[in-house]
Structure 1
């Protein structure tokens, strides 16, 4: 053989995303000038090059080229030893091709992410949250969960075993959160909490995720008003029964039995007179009298309270659209001489946009939730929000990222709506 090639037999250590240079020594033991070409074979061929790509050697001389190895930071490249080879092909005498072999020692790296979805949820007893884990490293991660809230008002249901996430994979874990005590009435109360996702591997920082449970009362303002209306109706029915229907029923019953009772009393009186005459040995025929009937008492119905005047119901919808990085507003102005009592507000984010929507009354911002935290969110106030004559109710949409609803064309602007309800 006129060509010899040599690679170091010991494994060459390299981390994904880094670069190493491995020398390849060549010797031309022939008697002609030879030019050599190189071809890397094996899994490392996609991210390994030879510098220089060709080499010419005079007879009985040696030279060196370098393999530049750049494994990408990709989860598809597992850690451990990886064999490779280089095909050294002489151009003048290709039959003397040689293939030296070597070994790479690919290092392990961790790249871990976690997200809590949604960050804000609401419920009368609790709500369900979901943790999403993303392992962008090249080896499996074992993740343990813990959760806490500062006021110790919440109870968390966490998995009893750790979650294992493979390289390049995602995992989802449901985390039900419940309030320790029931709230029957009052204003919704926010309870912030934190969930910690800690990988078992040393050197990987845990992810601390913030969330909030908005604890709503079991009896909302609407349900309480309905309950009071039912109680008032039952009370009115009770008053009607005891003041009108019950006396009328008693009077009708008395009138129904009055005739038979009088007839029985008349027959009893006649029988007594006959018995008295028979005992006395005779007697004149007694006259029989008819009992007189007294006037019957009639019940006159009472007069109930006059119905109250119904308030004018109010409902309107505001929609704001804005491009990426822009802000747009939609406004409703209360008519002159009118007062708007706002009791219900529903915010909509149908496209799944990212940004903020600010709700203002009379130029004063009251709410500014992040769009990415909801698709539909409702607010109800037992004490209505008041807007006076000519005051403006405004929603301002600040678009950061336009959403992409599934199975629909990609929208060109962010879009958010608000449904306002109350009385005017």
Structure 2
């Protein structure tokens, strides 16, 4: 038997961001001098330490080790009962190592943030916003949204006015604002409003936005109509003074010449028809006389009905442009103080002999990370930047290409991220969803 261990307190209570501790008494139950290594296992191992981490004991001797628990104030560690184990490992008798178990009751905290994206939108009859709500606490929260216009000049329509947020998640709620009065012409009007976000156990949050109401008629419309009217007047004048008389004169001359040609052609056709009729009658008479001379009866005129070939329609099959495809590339980049160093996350087409055509993509940054995101083309180790966006500039961003991106066989799509989050925010986890086809 290598060791025995006894916890001074098996049930601990801790608050996020604070420290608590207990002690474990280790006894050398073996027959030789032994070194024991003490560590913490389980869900609490990431924020627990043992001091000292190793002790040397004579046979039958006991020693005390302090185990400290410092849970971070983060959404990554949920509130509630967290089990742990203190492991005492014997270097002389590994089979005699022991684990003493306990629990930490971690308290809950609420940390909710809200932001209106974008903060200002221009429009003549409506403006669309998104309310981004982040739960940075360690327990689920329910939030309620309530927009308010102090001047009572706007109507609001929320996609939903409640949201349930798990720890470390965010919700994006669409909101449309519409002015109650509109105007055809005039200077833009700024409407300021607030959106209150209320979470259980926290003070109400207020985020502000602005709708800039423009006139319904575009500014270029009246100058364009005036220019169009001037052009129409010039064309009408040109028609009646120059073009119309010239057209009439040319039409008369062409009609007279064409009439002469028609009359001449009709006369020639009539003369030819008379001669052909005479020749046909003479040939018929000669044929009847020849048949009568040999004792045959001339046949009657029984013209065989004619038949024309029918047209069979045909349709050409449309060749398929390719196989539709969509995929997602997610990043998990460590914090790096060097803004020029990027962590890369490549995507390779499953079939290396196919061409990938990308027409749409959606950039997502739900946690509001800070840093830079790049999309690269990797052609046999030669990389070129296709798109670069600052993470702080978006939460959810769509791109639709008129000229599609084409990745030839063997080329890769690479998501590169340079993460400059504060130390308490953790890794950067943006992602990109692609849509297109495979040819």
TM-score, normalised relative to structure 1: 0.52
SS of equivalent to 2:220: helix
SS of equivalent to 1:194? strand
Once residues 29 and 374 of structure 2 are traced to their aligned partners in structure 1, the CA distance between those partners, rounded to angstroms, is: 68
The two structures, once aligned, show a CA RMSD in angstroms of 3.3
Q: 1:9 to 1:146 in 2, by over 3 A?
A: same
Partner residue in 2 for 1:224:
222
Structure 1 segment 116-131 matched on structure 2, within 5 A: 116-131=116-131
Cα 1:17–1:230 change in 2 (3 A) is: same
User: Is residue 163 of structure 2 the alignment partner of residue 163 of structure 1?
Assistant: yes
Correspondences of 1:64-103 after superposition (within 5 Å): 64-103=64-103
Match of 1:57 in 2: 57
Alignment of 1:141-290 (within 5 A): 141-199=141-199, 201-202=200-201, 204-227=202-225
Query: Equivalent residue for 2:105?
Result: 105
Going from structure 1 to structure 2, the CA distance change for 1:180 and 1:403 (only over 3 Å counts) comes to farther
Contact 2:9 2:22 in 1 (8 A): no
1:33 Cα shift?
4.1
Shift of 1:223: 1.9
Residue 40 (structure 1) shift: 2.0
Q: Secondary structure at the match of 1:46?
A: helix
Deviation, structure 1 residue 169: 1.4
Please list the CA deviations of residues 3-53 of structure 1 after superposition, one character each: whole Å capped at 9, or x if unmatched.
321114542112233222211122345565443222322122222221011
For residues 372 and 83 of structure 2, the distance between their equivalents in structure 1, rounded to whole angstroms, comes to 46
C-alpha distance in 2, partners of 1:97/1:411?
53
User: Partner residue of 2:25?
Assistant: 25
Taking structure 1 as reference, are residues 130 and 161 closer, same or farther at Cα in structure 2, changes over 3 Å only? closer
Runs of at least 4 residues off by over 6 Å: 229-234, 401-405
Residues 3 and 28, structure 1, Cα contact 8 Å, conserved in 2: yes
Change (3 A) 1:189 1:2: closer
Q: Distance in 2 between matches of 1:126 and 1:410?
A: 31
For 1:223 and 1:26, the matched residues in 2 are separated by 88
CA 1:95–1:125 in 2, change beyond 3 Å: closer, same or farther? closer
Unaligned stretches of 5+ residues in structure 2: 242-369, 376-384, 391-439
Q: Aligned partners of 1:404, 1:49: CA distance in 2, in Å?
A: 36
Q: Which runs of 5+ in 1 are unaligned?
A: 245-400, 413-424
Distance 1:410 1:233 in 2: 46
- Going from structure 1 to structure 2, the CA distance change for 1:16 and 1:411 (only over 3 Å counts) comes to closer
State the TM-score, normalized to the length of structure 2: 0.50
Secondary structure at the aligned position of 1:71 is classed as coil
Decide whether the 8 Å contact of 1:132 with 1:171 is kept in 2.
yes
Give the C-alpha shift of residue 125 in structure 1: 0.6
Aligned residues: 249
Cα contact 1:9–1:103 (8 A) shared by 2: no
